[in-house]
C-alpha cells in the first residue's frame, strides 16, 4: 500500500497544481505547494526505506490487484534493493530540482503551475516504473513518462525546443514500440503455457526457445538502450538537454533515463538471462565505445549543457558495462553508479543552469574568469565537476571503480579501455572549468552574481550526499547487495574467483609491512 | 419486384453522377439525398421480398441519419455561402496542400 | 594510542574543510588555525613515533581499521591505516616540513586576500598526504594519492586570474591522471588476482602468483609513480607547476607529494622484489630522469624552474635507488628525507629572494644579493652544500650511498649516477653565482630586503636539518630501522673500497663546481637571456625542457584534438545524420503521397466511388468463384 501512496502523492500534487489559479507574481503559491508535495514524498520514501528489510534480496512491500483480466495484467508493485535505491534518488532529487526551478525564467511565467505540475508527474510516474513488478504495468508507466517530459522540453525549453522535444519523443516511441512487440510476444507465450500473466514472478518461469528469447530480449533492450542512451542511439540526448531547462534535464537524465538501466537489470537480466549472456559481448563493446565516444565528444563541445549530456553518455556506458559484465561487484557498482550519477549530474546541470541564466549564454567561450566574482558558484561547479570525473573521496569514484574492478575479472580489454575514460573525464571537466572560471574576467560576465541562499539551499543536499557517500557508501551498498546477489544467481554466472586468493586473516593485517 | 430495384438503381446512378459533376453545393447535396433515398427504396423492396422487417428498420435508420446530415450539411453550406458569397464546392478547397 | 592514528589525518582535514566553509569572518584567524592544525598533527606524530621507538623491532607496525569503506559483491576494502617504520618517518617529514612551511606562508601570503583559502588547501594537502602514507590498502592509498593531486591542482592554480597558472594546474592534473590509469589498473589486477588490495596481503602473496603478474603489477604501479613523481615520460607537468605560490612548490612539488612515487615503489617492495624486469624499468626511469632533470636545471634562468629541474633529478636518484631492490630501498627513503629538508629550504629561500625582488623569478635580474639578504643567503648556502654533496652535510651521506649501491648493481648505472652528481654541482653553483654572488643586475624600482622573521625562522630550521640530516645514517640506523619493512639486503662488495669511491664522487663534485665557477665568473652575466640561436644546442634543448612538451603535443595532444574534431563532425553528420536522414526520407515520402489530396470534393467522391466499385467487383469475383 505504501508504495502506491508514494507514487500517488506527487501525481495528486500535480493535479492540485493544475487546478490552482494561474498567477504571474514572482512568489507563486504554486512553487511552495510543489515543494511541499515533493518534500512530503521524500518523507514518505524515507518511511518506505525504514520499512524495507535490508537483509533480504527479494521483492518487498508488495501489493497486487487484478487490473485487466483479459490479458492477465495486474496492478502489482514491490521493490527490491535496486528499485528502492532509485526511488530514493527520485524523491531526493525532485525537491532539489523544484527548489532550483523557482528561479527558472519560463517563456510565459503564467505557466509556472503547469511546469511544476509536469515535474511532479514525472516523479510519480518514475516511482511507479521503479516499483512495477508487472511487465504490462511497467510498460505503461515507462511510456507514460514521455508525456510530461515532452511537454517540459517542448513548452519550457530554449528557442529550438520543439525540434528537441519531437526528436526526444520519436526516438523513445520507436524504442517503446519495439518493447511493446516484446510485451505482446510475452503475452502469447505465457498464454500458451498456461494462464496469461505479466507478473515478473510468472514470466521468470516461462520456457522460451532460444530464438524467441533473443528476439524478445532485443525488443526490451532496444527501448532501454535508447532511454539510457547507448552509442549509437544517443543523439536525442544532447539536443534535448541543450534545449531543456536545467530542472527538466536533471529529471530526464538523472531519473527517467535510469529507468532504462534499471529495466536492463530488472527485466532484461531477470526475464532473459541466456539471451543477455548471448548479447553481452556486443553490449559491452557498445558500452566501451559509449564511454570513450561520449567523453571525446564532451571534450569537443562548446555548449555547456551539451557537454554535460555527453558526459552522461559516457557515464551510462560505465553503468551498462557493469550490468553486462555479470559480476556481483560490477552490478553492485552499476546500481550505485545510477544513484551517484544522478546526484553528480544533477549538481552539474543545476549549477551550470544558474550560471547560464545569469550570463544569458551557454557557450563556454562566452564565459571567463567568473571565479573572481562568483567564488561560491565556482567552488560548487568544481566540486560537481570533480565528482563527474570520479575523484576518489567523492561518491561516483566508488561506483566507477566497482564497475571497472568487476569488469576486469570478466574482460581485461573492456576494463582497460574503459579506464581510459578517467583521463578523458579529467580533460572535459577541467578544460571547461578552466575556460569558464579562471583567467581574467571576460567582458560580458560582469552580471554573473554569486549563488543566493535559495540556490545554495537547493545544491547543498546534493553536495553533502556526494561527499558523504564518497566515504560512507555502505548504507546504500547494504541495501543493494542482497538484490544483486539474487539477480546474478538468476543469471547463473558466478564471479570469477581470484587466481591466487589470499586468506585475509587478522595477523596479516596486523603485521603491516611485508617481511 | 425487379422494377423497384431498377428504379432504385437508376435513382442511385443519377445521384452519384450528380455528386461528381455538379459544382453547386446545394445540388450536390440534393444528389446525395437522392442516393440515400435510392438505397431506402432498395431496402424496403428487399424487406418486402424476404418478408421480414430488417430492411424497413434499416430504412428508418437511414432516414434519421439523413435528417441529421441535412441539418449539419446545410448549415455548413450556409456558413460557407455567407463567408465566400458562393456555394461552389470547387472554390472551397482550402484543405488542399 | 595507535588506534587514534586517524587523528593525524582528521585534524588537518577538519581544519581545512572548516576554513573553506567558514566565510569572510575566518580571514583574520584562518592562517593561524591552519598552522595550529598542522602543528598539532606534527606533535601527535612525534608522540606516536616515540612510542614506536620504544617498542621492540618485531612489533613496530600498528594497524587500525576504522570502518568498512566498500563492501560490494566480492569486493571488500576497509578504511584502515598502518603506522610502521616507513610511514612513521613520512609522517614526521610531512607534518614537520609542512608545519614549517605553514609558518613561512603566514608571512609569504600576508598580502593575499585569499590567504584563508590557501591555508585550507594546504591543510587538505597535509591530510591527503598522510592518508597516502598511512594507508594499509592500495585503494585507500589511491584516495590519498588523488587527494594530494587535487590539492596540488588547487594550489598550482591558486592565482587563478593568471591564465598560465590555471593551464599549469590543469596540465598537472591531466598528466597525473595518465599515471592514475596505471594505479587504477594495478589495483584492479590485484583484485582479480588476489581478491584483495590490502598492501600487506598483496605483497605477501605475490610470490605465489606468476612472474608475469608481478611484472605487470610493477609496471602499472611504476606508471602511477611516474605521474606523481614527475619521472620520464610523465615529467612535463612539474616545471609548469612552478606557477603556484612558492611555499606550494616547496611543500608539494619538492619535499613531499612528488616523492609519493618513491614511497609507492618502496611500499610495494614485495611486488618489485618478485620481478627483475619491473625493477630494471624503475632503474631506467630513475636514471633517465636523473640526467634529464639535471640537464634542464643547467639551462633554466627562472630560479624556480631551475630548482624544479633539480627536484626531478633528485627524485630520479631516489627512483634509481628504489629500483636497486632491498639494497637501495632504505637509501631511497634516506635521500627522500634529506632532499625534503634541503630542497624545501632552497625553495623557501628562493621565495624569500622573490619576496625581496618584487616577485621576479628571472635569475638574470638578480646578483649580489648575499649582503642584502644575509639570512636567506646563509640558509640557502647550507642547502646548496647539502645538495651537491659536500661532507658532512646531509646530501653527501645519502647521495654517496645511492651511487655506491648503484655501482654495486651495474657499472654503467653507477657511472650515470656519478655523472649526475657532477652536473648537480654545476647547476647549483650556477644558481648560487647568478643569485647571490656576481654583480647586481636588478631592474629599476627593486629594493631587495631581508624577509620578515616569520619567514626566516623556518629557513633556519630547515637549514639546520639540512646540515645535520646525515645523522640518520649513524651506525646504519636508518637501514636497520627500515629493514622489517624493506627486507634484508645482501651486501655487495665493490671492486674498490668505499672510501675510494667517496673520494672519486667528491672529486667529480669539485670539478662540477669549478666548471660553473669558471663559466659564470669569466665574464659578466647578461641581464637578458641570450637568444636561442646564440647558445649551444645543449642549452637550447635544456631551455625547451628537452622538447618534452613538443613531443607530448605531437604524439598525444594534437591527435586527440583532431580525433575530437572528427568525432564531433561524425556525430553530427554520421550518427545523427543517419537518423535525421531517415526522418527526411519519411518527410519526402509524405510530400509525395499528399499530391493526390487536391481539395476538390468531387475528386474525393470519385475516389470513393472507384474504391467501392473495386470492392464490389472483388466481392463478386470471390462469391462467383
pLDDT computed for residue A504 by the predictor? 53
Alpha-carbon span A84 to A331, nearest angstrom? 16
DSSP states along C248-270: HHHIIIIISGGGHHHHHHHHTHH
End-to-end CA distance of chain A: 60
Does residue C608 carry a pLDDT above 60? yes
Q: At A199, is the secondary structure helix, strand, or coil?
A: strand
Of C153, C180, C195, the CB nearest to A498: C195
pLDDT computed for residue C161 by the predictor? 86
* A78 neighbors A62 (Cβ within 8 angstroms): yes
Preceding omega of A105 cis (within 30 degrees of 0): no
The least confident of A104-118, A184-198, A359-373, C380-394 is: A104-118
C161:A369 CB<8 A? yes
Residue numbers in B near C605 (CB within 8 A)? 19-20
Alpha-carbon span A291 to A279, nearest angstrom? 18
pLDDT computed for residue A507 by the predictor? 42
In whole angstroms, how far apart are CA C431 and each of C68, C399, C463, C520? Answer: 51, 20, 17, 10
Q: Percent of chain A beyond pLDDT 70?
A: 97
Q: Report the range out of A48-52, A66-70, B78-82 with the highest average pLDDT.
A: A48-52
Preceding omega of C85 cis (within 30 degrees of 0): no
Q: Cell triple for residue A385?
A: 565537476
Of C63, C73, C184, the CB nearest to A509: C63
Chain C, 604 to 623: residues with Cβ < 8 Å from chain A are: none
* C432 neighbors C358 (Cβ within 8 angstroms): no
Alpha-carbon span A432 to C273, nearest angstrom? 43
C170:A508 CB<8 A? no
* A442 neighbors A366 (Cβ within 8 angstroms): yes
Q: Cell triple for residue C412?
A: 654503467
C73:A330 CB<8 A? yes
Over range A199-225, report the average pLDDT: 91
Q: How far is A511 from chain C (nearest CA, A)?
A: 6
Alpha-carbon span C224 to A419, nearest angstrom? 14
Residue numbers in A near C182 (CB within 8 A)? none
Chain C, 579 to 608: residues with Cβ < 8 Å from chain B are: 594-595, 597-602, 605-606
* A316 neighbors A229 (Cβ within 8 angstroms): yes
pLDDT computed for residue C309 by the predictor? 93
H or E, element range at C465: helix C453-468
A514:C208 CB<8 A? no
pLDDT tens for each residue of C86-115: 999 999 999 999 999 999 999 999 888 889
**CB-count burial class (<10 Å; 0-12, 13-18, 19+) for C515:** middle
Distant-in-sequence, close-in-space partners of C359: CB < 8 Å, separation ≥ 6: none
B89 inside 8 A of chain C by CB = yes
Please report where in the chains the cell 525537491 appears, as a residue. A95
Q: Chains with 3 or more CB pairs closer than 8 angstroms to B? A: C
pLDDT computed for residue A224 by the predictor? 95
Residue numbers in B near C609 (CB within 8 A)? 16, 20
C602:B93 CB<8 A? no
pLDDT tens for each residue of C421-443: 999 999 999 999 999 988 888 88
Sequence-ordered alpha helix ranges (H) in C469-497: 477-486
Q: How far is C615 from chain B (nearest CA, A)?
A: 17
Over range A481-486, report the average pLDDT: 90
pLDDT computed for residue A331 by the predictor? 93
A392:C568 CB<8 A? no
Q: What is the dihedral of CA B83, B88, B92, B97, to 10 degrees?
A: -150
Eight-state DSSP code of residue A266? I
Q: How far is C163 from chain B (nearest CA, A)?
A: 59
Q: Cell triple for residue C258?
A: 612528488
Alpha-carbon span A488 to A478, nearest angstrom? 16
- Closest C-alpha to A300, from C179, C568, C465: C568
Q: At A55, is the secondary structure helix, strand, or coil?
A: coil
* C249 neighbors C152 (Cβ within 8 angstroms): no
Over range A209-224, report the average pLDDT: 93
- Phi, psi for residue A132 in degrees, rounded to 5: -70, 135
Q: How far is A382 from chain C (nearest CA, A)?
A: 10
Alpha-carbon span A165 to C593, nearest angstrom? 26
Tell me, what's the ipTM?
0.92
Alpha-carbon span A265 to C156, nearest angstrom? 44
Alpha-carbon span C431 to C424, nearest angstrom? 11
pLDDT computed for residue B23 by the predictor? 82
Eight-state DSSP code of residue A480? H
Instruction: Give the mean pLDDT of chain C.
Output: 90
- Closest C-alpha to A273, from A203, A330, A191: A203
* C460 neighbors C383 (Cβ within 8 angstroms): no
Preceding omega of A232 cis (within 30 degrees of 0): yes
Please report where in the chains the cell 622489517 appears, as a residue. C484
Chain C's closest residue to A306, CA to CA, is: C568
Alpha-carbon span C288 to C300, nearest angstrom? 19
* A203 neighbors A287 (Cβ within 8 angstroms): no
Residue numbers in C near A397 (CB within 8 A)? 146
pLDDT tens for each residue of C549-582: 899 889 888 999 999 999 999 998 988 889 889 8
Q: How far is C603 from chain B (nearest CA, A)?
A: 8
Alpha-carbon span A126 to A120, nearest angstrom? 10
pLDDT computed for residue A168 by the predictor? 92
pLDDT computed for residue B95 by the predictor? 58
The model's confidence at residue C73, banded by pLDDT at 50, 70 and 90, is confident
CB atoms within 10 A of CB A338: 29
Q: Percent of chain C beyond pLDDT 70?
A: 100
pTM of the model: 0.89
C70:A371 CB<8 A? no
pLDDT computed for residue C442 by the predictor? 85
Does residue C225 carry a pLDDT above 80? yes
Rounded to the nearest 10 degrees, the angle between the axes of helix C411-435 and helix C303-323 is: 160
pLDDT computed for residue C103 by the predictor? 94
B85 inside 8 A of chain C by CB = no
The least confident of A209-213, A500-504, C54-58 is: A500-504
Preceding omega of C233 cis (within 30 degrees of 0): yes
The model's confidence at residue A515, banded by pLDDT at 50, 70 and 90, is very low
Q: Exposed e or buried b for every residue in A107-135, given b needs 16+ CB within 10 A? A: eeeebbbbbbbbbbbbbbbbbbbbbbbbb
B34 inside 8 A of chain C by CB = no
Does residue A460 carry a pLDDT above 70? yes
C530 inside 8 A of chain A by CB = no
Residue numbers in B near C598 (CB within 8 A)? 93, 96
Does residue C506 carry a pLDDT above 60? yes
In whole angstroms, how far apart are CA A280 and each of A160, A321, C166, C268, C409? Answer: 37, 9, 42, 36, 50
How many residues in chain B? 97
Which sign, positive or negative, has the C-alpha torsion C260, C262, C266, C271?
A: positive
- Phi, psi for residue A496 in degrees, rounded to 5: -65, 135
A494 inside 8 A of chain C by CB = no
A477:C72 CB<8 A? yes
The model's confidence at residue B93, banded by pLDDT at 50, 70 and 90, is low
How far is C-alpha A389 from the chain's CA centre?
17
Alpha-carbon span A118 to A123, nearest angstrom? 9
C609:B89 CB<8 A? no
Residue numbers in C near A380 (CB within 8 A)? none
* C227 neighbors C319 (Cβ within 8 angstroms): no
pLDDT computed for residue C539 by the predictor? 85
- Closest C-alpha to A409, from A494, A495, A323, A504: A495
Over range C513-534, report the average pLDDT: 85
Chain C's closest residue to B16, CA to CA, is: C609
Q: Exposed e or buried b for every residue in A260-294, given b needs 16+ CB within 10 A? A: bbbbbbbbbbbbbbebbeebbeebbbbbbebbbbb
Of A409, A433, A514, the CB nearest to C204: A514
Q: Cell triple for residue C384?
A: 646548496
Which sign, positive or negative, has the C-alpha torsion B10, B12, B16, B19?
A: positive
- In chain B, what are the helix, strand and coil shares in percent, each to the nearest 5? 80, 0, 20
Of B16, B19, B90, the CB nearest to C600: B90
Over range C69-98, report the average pLDDT: 92
The answer to whether B and C touch (≥3 CB pairs < 8 Å) is yes
pLDDT computed for residue B52 by the predictor? 87
* C511 neighbors C419 (Cβ within 8 angstroms): no
Distant-in-sequence, close-in-space partners of C553: CB < 8 Å, separation ≥ 6: none
pLDDT computed for residue A26 by the predictor? 63
Does residue C81 carry a pLDDT above 60? yes
Alpha-carbon span A5 to A11, nearest angstrom? 10
- Phi, psi for residue A77 in degrees, rounded to 5: -125, 160
pLDDT computed for residue C522 by the predictor? 83
C75:A402 CB<8 A? yes
Does residue A500 carry a pLDDT above 50? yes
CB-side neighbour CA atoms (13 Å) of C318: 33
Q: Chains with 3 or more CB pairs closer than 8 angstroms to A? A: C
Chain A, 356 to 375: residues with Cβ < 8 Å from chain C are: 369, 371-372
Instruction: Give the mean pLDDT of chain B.
Output: 87
- In chain A, what are the helix, strand and coil shares in percent, each to the nearest 5? 75, 5, 20
Chain A, 158 to 177: residues with Cβ < 8 Å from chain C are: 170-171
How many residues in chain C? 625
* A119 neighbors A251 (Cβ within 8 angstroms): yes
Over range A309-315, report the average pLDDT: 95
pLDDT tens for each residue of C142-171: 999 999 999 999 999 999 888 899 999 999
Alpha-carbon span C323 to C287, nearest angstrom? 10
The model's confidence at residue A513, banded by pLDDT at 50, 70 and 90, is very low
Alpha-carbon span A374 to A355, nearest angstrom? 10
Q: How far is B19 from chain C (nearest CA, A)?
A: 7
C342 inside 8 A of chain A by CB = no
Alpha-carbon span A478 to C68, nearest angstrom? 11
Residue numbers in B near C599 (CB within 8 A)? 93-97
* A166 neighbors C579 (Cβ within 8 angstroms): no
Q: How far is C71 from chain A (nearest CA, A)?
A: 7
C240 inside 8 A of chain A by CB = no
B97:C606 CB<8 A? no
Does residue C601 carry a pLDDT above 80? no
Residue numbers in A near C14 (CB within 8 A)? none
- As beta bridge partners, residue C71 has C76
C139:A401 CB<8 A? yes
H or E, element range at A177: helix A161-192
Amino acid at each position: 500500500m505504501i508504495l502506491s501512496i508514494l507514487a500517488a502523492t506527487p501525481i495528486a500534487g500535480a493535479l492540485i497544481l493544475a487546478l490552482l489559479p494561474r498567477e504571474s507574481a514572482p512568489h507563486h503559491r504554486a512553487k511552495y505547494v510543489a515543494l511541499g508535495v515533493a518534500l512530503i514524498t521524500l518523507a514518505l520514501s524515507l518511511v518506505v526505506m525504514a520499512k524495507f528489510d535490508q537483509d533480504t534480496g527479494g521483492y518487498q512491500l508488495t501489493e497486487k490487484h487484478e487490473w485487466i483480466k483479459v490479458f492477465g495484467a495486474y496492478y502489482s508493485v514491490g521493490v527490491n534493493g535496486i528499485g528502492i535505491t532509485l526511488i530514493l534518488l527520485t524523491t531526493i532529487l525532485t525537491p532539489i530540482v523544484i527548489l532550483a526551478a523557482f528561479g527558472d525564467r519560463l517563456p510565459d511565467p503564467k505557466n509556472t503551475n503547469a511546469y511544476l505540475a509536469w515535474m511532479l508527474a514525472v516523479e510519480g510516474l518514475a516511482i511507479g516504473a521503479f516499483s512495477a513488478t508487472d511487465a504490462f504495468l511497467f510498460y505503461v508507466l515507462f511510456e507514460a513518462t514521455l508525456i510530461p517530459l515532452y511537454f517540459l522540453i517542448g513548452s519550457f525549453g530554449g528557442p529550438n525546443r520543439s525540434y528537441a522535444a519531437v526528436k526526444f519523443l520519436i526516438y523513445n516511441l520507436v524504442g517503446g514500440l519495439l518493447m511493446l512487440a516484446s510485451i505482446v510476444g510475452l503475452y502469447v507465450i505465457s498464454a500458451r503455457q498456461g494462464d496469461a500473466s505479466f507478473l515478473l514472478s510468472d514470466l521468470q518461469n516461462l520456457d522460451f526457445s532460444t530464438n524467441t528469447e533473443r528476439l524478445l530480449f532485443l525488443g526490451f533492450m532496444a527501448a532501454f538502450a535508447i532511454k539510457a542512451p547507448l552509442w549509437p542511439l544517443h543523439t536525442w540526448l544532447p539536443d534535448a538537454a541543450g534545449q531543456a531547462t536545467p530542472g527538466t534535464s536533471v529529471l530526464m537524465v538523472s531519473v527517467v533515463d535510469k529507468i532504462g538501466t534499471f529495466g536492463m537489470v530488472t527485466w532484461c537480466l531477470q526475464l532473459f538471462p541466456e539471451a543477455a549472456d548471448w548479447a553481452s559481448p556486443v553490449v559491452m563493446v557498445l558500452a566501451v565505445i559509449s564511454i570513450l565516444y561520449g567523453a571525446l565528444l564532451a571534450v569537443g563541445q562548446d555548449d555547456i549543457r551539451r557537454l554535460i549530456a555527453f558526459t552522461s553518455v559516457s557515464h551510462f556506458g560505465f553503468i551498462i558495462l557493469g550490468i553486462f559484465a555479470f559480476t556481483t561487484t560490477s552490478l553492485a557498482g552499476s546500481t550505485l553508479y545510477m544513484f551517484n550519477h544522478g546526484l553528480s549530474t544533477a549538481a552539474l546541470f543545476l549549477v551550470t543552469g544558474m550560471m547560464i541564466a545569469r550570463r544569458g549564454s551557454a557557450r563556454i567561450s562566452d564565459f571567463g574568469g567568473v571565479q573572481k566574482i562568483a567564488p561560491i558558484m565556482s567552488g560548487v561547479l568544481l566540486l560537481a565537476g570533480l565528482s563527474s570525473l570520479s575523484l576518489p573521496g567523492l561518491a561516483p569514484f566508488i561506483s566507477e571503480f566497482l564497475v571497472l574492478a568487476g569488469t576486469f575479472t570478466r574482460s581485461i580489454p573492456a576494463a582497460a579501455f574503459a579506464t581510459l575514460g578517467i583521463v578523458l573525464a579529467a580533460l572535459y571537466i577541467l578544460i571547461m572549468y578552466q575556460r569558464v572560471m579562471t583567467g581574467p574576467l571576460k567582458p560580458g560576465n560582469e552580471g554573473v552574481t554569486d549563488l543566493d541562499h535559495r540556490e545554495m539551499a537547493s545544491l547543498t543536499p546534493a553536495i553533502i550526499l556526494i561527499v558523504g557517500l564518497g566515504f560512507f557508501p555502505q548504507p546504500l551498498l547494504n541495501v543493494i547487495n542482497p538484490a544483486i546477489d539474487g539477480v546474478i544467481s538468476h543469471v547463473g554466472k558466478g564471479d570469477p574467483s581470484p587466481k591466487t586468493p589470499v586468506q585475509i586473516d587478522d595477523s596479516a593485517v596486523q603485521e603491516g609491512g611485508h617481511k | 419486384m425487379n422494377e423497384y430495384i431498377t428504379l432504385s438503381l437508376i435513382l442511385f446512378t443519377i445521384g452519384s453522377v450528380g455528386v461528381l459533376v455538379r459544382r453547386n453545393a446545394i445540388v450536390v447535396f440534393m444528389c446525395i439525398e437522392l442516393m440515400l433515398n435510392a438505397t431506402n427504396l432498395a431496402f424496403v423492396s428487399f424487406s418486402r421480398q424476404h418478408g421480414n422487417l430488417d430492411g424497413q428498420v434499416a430504412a428508418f435508420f437511414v432516414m434519421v441519419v439523413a435528417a441529421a446530415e441535412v441539418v449539419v450539411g446545410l448549415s455548413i453550406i450556409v456558413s460557407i455561402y455567407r463567408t465566400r458569397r458562393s456555394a461552389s464546392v470547387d472554390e472551397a478547397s482550402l484543405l488542399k496542400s | 594510542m595507535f588506534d587514534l592514528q586517524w587523528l593525524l589525518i582528521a585534524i588537518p582535514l577538519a581544519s581545512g574543510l572548516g576554513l573553506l566553509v567558514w566565510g569572510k569572518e575566518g580571514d583574520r584567524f584562518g592562517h593561524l588555525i591552519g598552522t595550529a592544525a598542522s602543528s598539532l598533527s606534527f606533535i601527535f606524530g612525534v608522540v606516536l613515533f616515540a612510542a614506536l621507538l620504544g617498542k621492540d623491532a618485531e612489533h613496530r607496525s600498528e594497524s587500525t581499521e576504522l570502518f568498512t569503506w566498500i563492501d560490494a559483491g566480492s569486493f571488500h576494502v576497509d578504511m584502515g591505516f598502518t603506522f610502521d617504520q616507513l610511514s612513521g618517518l613520512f609522517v614526521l617529514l610531512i607534518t614537520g616540513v609542512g608545519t614549517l612551511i605553514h609558518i613561512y606562508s603566514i608571512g609569504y601570503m600576508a598580502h593575499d586576500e585569499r590567504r584563508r583559502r590557501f591555508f585550507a588547501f594546504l591543510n587538505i594537502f597535509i591530510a591527503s598526504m598522510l592518508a597516502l602514507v598511512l594507508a594499509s590498502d592500495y585503494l585507500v592509498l589511491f584516495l590519498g594519492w588523488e587527494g594530494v593531486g587535487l590539492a596540488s591542482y588547487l594550489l598550482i592554480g591558486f592565482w587563478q586570474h593568471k591564465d598560465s597558472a590555471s593551464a599549469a594546474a590543469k596540465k598537472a592534473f591531466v598528466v597525473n591522471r595518465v599515471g592514475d590509469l596505471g594505479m587504477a589498473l594495478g589495483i584492479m589486477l590485484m583484485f582479480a588476482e588476489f581478491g584483495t588490495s590490502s598492501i600487506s596481503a598483496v605483497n605477501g602473496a605475490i610470490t605465489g602468483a606468476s612472474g608475469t603478474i608481478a611484472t605487470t603489477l610493477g609496471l602499472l604501479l611504476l606508471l602511477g609513480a611516474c605521474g606523481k613523481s614527475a619521472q620520464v615520460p610523465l615529467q612535463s607537468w612539474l616545471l609548469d607547476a612552478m606557477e603556484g605560490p612558492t611555499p606550494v612548490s616547496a611543500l608539494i612539488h619538492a619535499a613531499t607529494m612528488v616523492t609519493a612515487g618513491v614511497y609507492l615503489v618502496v611500499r610495494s617492495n614485495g611486488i618489485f622484489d618478485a620481478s627483475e624486469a619491473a625493477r630494471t624499468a624503475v632503474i631506467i626511469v630513475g636514471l633517465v630522469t636523473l640526467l634529464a632533470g639535471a640537464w634542464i636545471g643547467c639551462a633554466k634562468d627562472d630560479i624556480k624552474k631551475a630548482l624544479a629541474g633539480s627536484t626531478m633529478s633528485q627524485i630520479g636518484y631516489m627512483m634509481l635507488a628504489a629500483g636497486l631492490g632491498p639494497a637501495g630501498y632504505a637509501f631511497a627513503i634516506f635521500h627522500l628525507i634529506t632532499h625534503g629538508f634541503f630542497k624545501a629550504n632552497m625553495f623557501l629561500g628562493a621565495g624569500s629572494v622573490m619576496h625581496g625582488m618584487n616577485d621576479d623569478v628571472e635569475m638574470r635580474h638578480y646578483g649580489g644579493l648575499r649582503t642584502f639578504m644575509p639570512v636567506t643567503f646563509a640558509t640557502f648556502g647550507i642547502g646548496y652544500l647539502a645538495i651537491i654533496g659536500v661532507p658532512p652535510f646531509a646530501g653527501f651521506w645519502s647521495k654517496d650511498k645511492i651511487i655506491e649501491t648503484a655501482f654495486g648493481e651495474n657499472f654503467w648505472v653507477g657511472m650515470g649516477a656519478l655523472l649526475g652528481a657532477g652536473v648537480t654541482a654545476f647547476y647549483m653553483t650556477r644558481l648560487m653565482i647568478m643569485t647571490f654572488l656576481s654583480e647586481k643586475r636588478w631592474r629599476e624600482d627593486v629594493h631587495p630586503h631581508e624577509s620578515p622573521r616569520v619567514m626566516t625562522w623556518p629557513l633556519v630550521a630547515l637549514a639546520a636539518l639540512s646540515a645535520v640530516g646525515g645523522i640518520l645514517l649513524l651506525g646504519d640506523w636508518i637501514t636497520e630501522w627500515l629493514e622489517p619493512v624493506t627486507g634484508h639486503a645482501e651486501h655487495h662488495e665493490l671492486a674498490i673500497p668505499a672510501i675510494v669511491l667517496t673520494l672519486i664522487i667528491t672529486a667529480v663534485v669539485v670539478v662540477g663546481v669549478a666548471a660553473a665557477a669558471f663559466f659564470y665568473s669569466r665574464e659578466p652575466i647578461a641581464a637578458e637571456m641570450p637568444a636561442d640561436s646564440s647558445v649551444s644546442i645543449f642549452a637550447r634543448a635544456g631551455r625547451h625542457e628537452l622538447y618534452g612538451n613538443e613531443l607530448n603535443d605531437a604524439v598525444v595532444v594534437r591527435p586527440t584534438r583532431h580525433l575530437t574534431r572528427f568525432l564531433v563532425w561524425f556525430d553530427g553528420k554520421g550518427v545523427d545524420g543517419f537518423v535525421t536522414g531517415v526522418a527526411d526520407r519519411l518527410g519526402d515520402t509524405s510530400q509525395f503521397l499528399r499530391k493526390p489530396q487536391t481539395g476538390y470534393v468531387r475528386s474525393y467522391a470519385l475516389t470513393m466511388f472507384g474504391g467501392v466499385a473495386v470492392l464490389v467487383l472483388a466481392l463478386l469475383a470471390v462469391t462467383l468463384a
